[in-house]
Structure 1
Amino acid sequence: MDPLVWEWLSFGVRWLHVITAIAWIGSSFYFIALDLGLRKRPGLPEGVTGEEWQVHGGGFYYIQKYMIAPEAMPEHLIWFKWESYSTWLTGFFLLVVVYYAGAELYLIDRAVLDVPAWGAVLISLGGLALGWIIYDLLCRSPLGKNDWLLYAALFGFLVLLSWGFTQVFSGRAAFLHTGAVVATIMSANVFMIIIPNQKKVVATLRAGGTPEAKLGLQAKQRSTHNNYLTLPVIFLMLSNHYPLAFGTKWNWVIVSLVLVMGAIIRHFFNSMHAKKGRPWWTWGVAALCFAAIVWLSTFPAETPEEYDISGTQNPLYLSASFEDVRETVIGRCSMCHAQEPFWEGIGVAPKGVVLETDEQILRHAHEIYIQAGRSNAMPPGNVTEISGEERQLIASWFEQALAPKP
């Protein structure tokens, strides 16, 4: 597929993913706050456990919650599920477009594990499936009867999983996959547990029976997990834009701190909505966690020996114009994209992209083509005064070298 078409496909899918994620997280946060803020009063209708008055957009809303269901089921019932499903589906499609199709660039780091693209994709798919299976087994095990023991086990599992991903993928992909596993757990909770249990309850009530209490308890437990995992998964999904998060020696420890930081921030808002006070100490702990993350980011990742991708199999390297492209990239880009950037105010290479050697230029050829060849996104504000001829040189080099041969 044409690189420009693929780039726009990536942007379109990312846009959909962000939109659906906002819808899911927004409705989730709203219902959590609503549920925790419900008030009890004498004279509530049978089965109603709380009510709340709200005002929004110039109108007033009166909301009541039935712990199980009203005596007569309404004909029109809205199920909040498609936000979750759409978020996961668009996220997985984005994973395919960016990380699977661009495995050599974004997924694989041969200095970490030298595997073919198809092998890395299988590891990725296996990690997503295994993450949900182990999580579900932990919840169904005896640990599931004690919330605090279960939280400890799940925390340890996610940290171990994050460390495992750093042993097989690039740092960027390791963070993204930890977030993808968490997102899979959250969406699978909705698809496999919460919605099916609610449907069983509705079916039983419509048949005149009494629903099993465990169905509601199980759904509530999984919903609570989703609540506390939301902020960490947002951090992990955004982290691929920030190499100081994923490109450090202790990146998996950073994941563990993010899990703690996200959970205690949610605890603050949960306590506030439940009218149990505002535990301000949580922000102090969150600030300490963030400070620790900043400190850990000062430990650079171990620099492995470069591997050679510049041999006879690489048409970009064999191109007659590669030397001119190399000179352009070194002259116009490497003042920022260097192990030790010398552009004032730049402390680390943007997005972790270093462009000082042939191997590094070839590894990031697609990004150079899009950012500096087919657009003027780089350098920012054209501070290094790259000319139109130089941009055309980069674009022609990439397109001609990778064009199908007759």
Structure 2
Amino acid sequence: MLTFVADWLNILLRWAHLVVGITWIGTSFYFIALDLSLRAREKMSPGVFGTAWQVHGGGFYHVEKFTVAPPALPEDLQWFKWDAYLTWVTGFGLLITQYYVNASIYLVDRAVLPMTGGEAVLISILSLAAGWFAYDRLCRSPIGQNTPVLALIVFVGIVAAAWMFGEIYSGRGALIHVGALVGTIMAFNVFMIIVPNQRKIVASLVAGEAPDPKYGKIGKQRSVHNNYLTLPVLLMMVSNHYPMLTNHPQNWLLVALILLIGAMVRHFINRHEAGDHFNQIAWTLPVAAVGLMVAIVMTAPRTDPAHAGMQVADADVMGIVERHCVACHASQPSHEGFEEAPKGVVLETVADLGRYAPLVDAQAVKSDAMPLGNESGMTDDERRQLGAWIAAR
């Protein structure tokens, strides 16, 4: 019953996370595009930086943006913050229900670093907090005024964090933490910087004072950071479904490529929205394409020469499966973490193993994603035998 309740909690949190995440990302994309489409026109209200004419849903919209703030605020001022807050809250809830509660399964890989589930959770919380603190201090430092240098250091910092997580957690635990770290930075940008700065501007207006333009400038900087990090963080958050990413021996390098690809695509879209000529921004697409090709080549399946000539009997391969797979992948799993076989994959007979051979090959032969956390201690030789049996079919 406990597993049943946990599954429903996981489903509802995941559903909510998707809904609020889509809304937050859509809002981010819209306002960056709006900012970049603003134009100075002959007739504008005093203090207006630029305006934009837009058409959508059968109607026309005329939007103004003030250089700092209008002289007076309307009563129906709208704030865009809860989608960001709830995206982080639901995401952290998923991290708890999926990874913290089952830390010994999903986070710990004793072949990487022997530790308890509690230690893995403590490291997770501390690393997310430390990542935000380091990023925030960097942005507040003089380096924060130099956009190219700041972007490079943030890029290197995220890749370094990916390498560090890979030295601590299982493959899927490492990449989900890269996503959680970037997501924390993005949400805390809204919670700790963008919204508080906007409140200071509002307080100045209410008090009849001229707002300090630095607050808007700082908020815009963090908003742009969030915009460029959006595409990479989305892929990180779904990476646990793809062992070719999570369990690649150089998954930190894949993180670097994902950051590069996402940033190039986002930059192309942003500058296109700003009205830049295609020739000025076309360079971003080949860079993204090269990054993608390198990632594809890195993750391409390779034939293990150790398989060549190896003969493995059905009885031997089923012995391996019974030792390492059937505790979870059975019609009635004996593993305490599962009430039914994950994804409905049952491996109780030779026919079952043949049916799901491609999945087994991807998860347990070409990567060490399975068994989860290698709880049962599956050896490289056993993986080779399993691979040879599959290759011979």
Kept after mapping to 1: 8 A contact 2:245/2:299:
yes
How much has 1:113 moved relative to structure 2?
1.0
Stretch moving more, 345-354 or 65-74: 345-354
How much has 1:240 moved relative to structure 2?
1.0
Report what 1:359 is aligned to.
Answer: 376
For residues 10-36 of structure 1, the C-alpha deviation after alignment (integer angstroms, 9 at most, x for no partner) is 111101100010000011101111110
SS of equivalent residue, structure 1 residue 349: helix
Kept after mapping to 2: 8 A contact 1:159/1:255:
yes
Kept after mapping to 2: 8 A contact 1:250/1:297:
no
Structure 2 residue 8 is the aligned partner of structure 1 residue 8: yes
Structure 2 residue 299 is the aligned partner of structure 1 residue 292: no
TM-score in terms of structure 1 length = 0.78
Report what 2:383 is aligned to.
Answer: none
Q: Could you say if the C-alpha distance between residues 135 and 87 of structure 1 is closer, same or farther in structure 2, counting changes exceeding 3 Å?
A: same
Report what 2:102 is aligned to.
Answer: 102
How much has 1:328 moved relative to structure 2?
4.8
Report what 1:387 is aligned to.
Answer: none
Alignment of 1:75-114 (within 5 A): 75-114=75-114
Query: Where in structure 2 are there 5+ consecutive unaligned residues?
Result: 303-319, 325-332, 337-345, 379-393
How much has 1:167 moved relative to structure 2?
0.5
Report what 1:266 is aligned to.
Answer: 266
How much has 1:295 moved relative to structure 2?
1.6
Kept after mapping to 2: 8 A contact 1:250/1:299:
no
For residues 239-260 of structure 1, the C-alpha deviation after alignment (integer angstroms, 9 at most, x for no partner) is 1111111111110000011111
How much has 1:68 moved relative to structure 2?
1.4
Kept after mapping to 1: 8 A contact 2:112/2:168:
yes
Cα distance in 1, alignment partners of residues 296 and 347 from structure 2: 34
Report what 1:242 is aligned to.
Answer: 242
SS of equivalent residue, structure 1 residue 51: strand
Structure 2 residue 115 is the aligned partner of structure 1 residue 115: yes
SS of equivalent residue, structure 1 residue 69: coil
Cα distance in 1, alignment partners of residues 179 and 335 from structure 2: 35
For residues 104-135 of structure 1, the C-alpha deviation after alignment (integer angstroms, 9 at most, x for no partner) is 22111111111111110001101110110010
Structure 2 residue 362 is the aligned partner of structure 1 residue 348: yes
Kept after mapping to 2: 8 A contact 1:334/1:355:
no
Report what 1:277 is aligned to.
Answer: 277
Alignment of 1:2-81 (within 5 A): 2-81=2-81
The count of residues paired between Structure 1 and Structure 2 equals 339
Q: Could you say if the C-alpha distance between residues 289 and 347 of structure 1 is closer, same or farther in structure 2, counting changes exceeding 3 Å?
A: farther
Q: Could you say if the C-alpha distance between residues 336 and 328 of structure 1 is closer, same or farther in structure 2, counting changes exceeding 3 Å?
A: closer
Cα distance in 2, alignment partners of residues 51 and 166 from structure 1: 47
Report what 1:370 is aligned to.
Answer: none
SS of equivalent residue, structure 1 residue 359: coil
SS of equivalent residue, structure 2 residue 115: coil
For residues 20-57 of structure 1, the C-alpha deviation after alignment (integer angstroms, 9 at most, x for no partner) is 10000011101111110012111211111111121211
Kept after mapping to 2: 8 A contact 1:37/1:275:
yes
Kept after mapping to 2: 8 A contact 1:248/1:298:
no
Alignment of 1:362-381 (within 5 A): none
Which residue identity lines up with residue 92 of structure 2 in the other structure? F
Which residue identity lines up with residue 262 of structure 2 in the other structure? G
Cα distance in 1, alignment partners of residues 238 and 159 from structure 2: 18
Cα distance in 2, alignment partners of residues 156 and 202 from structure 1: 36
Report what 2:350 is aligned to.
Answer: 331
Cα distance in 2, alignment partners of residues 157 and 77 from structure 1: 37
Query: Where in structure 1 are there 5+ consecutive unaligned residues?
Result: 301-305, 319-326, 362-406
Cα distance in 2, alignment partners of residues 102 and 3 from structure 1: 11
Kept after mapping to 2: 8 A contact 1:54/1:62:
yes
Kept after mapping to 2: 8 A contact 1:176/1:236:
yes
Kept after mapping to 2: 8 A contact 1:162/1:175:
yes
Which residue identity lines up with residue 359 of structure 1 in the other structure? S
Report what 2:313 is aligned to.
Answer: none
Report what 2:307 is aligned to.
Answer: none
SS of equivalent residue, structure 1 residue 65: strand
Identity %: 45
Large movers: runs of 4+ above 6 Å: 355-358
Cα distance in 1, alignment partners of residues 124 and 269 from structure 2: 34
How much has 1:281 moved relative to structure 2?
2.5
Q: Could you say if the C-alpha distance between residues 163 and 250 of structure 1 is closer, same or farther in structure 2, counting changes exceeding 3 Å?
A: same
How much has 1:217 moved relative to structure 2?
1.5
Q: Could you say if the C-alpha distance between residues 355 and 346 of structure 1 is closer, same or farther in structure 2, counting changes exceeding 3 Å?
A: closer
CA RMSD of aligned residues (A): 2.9
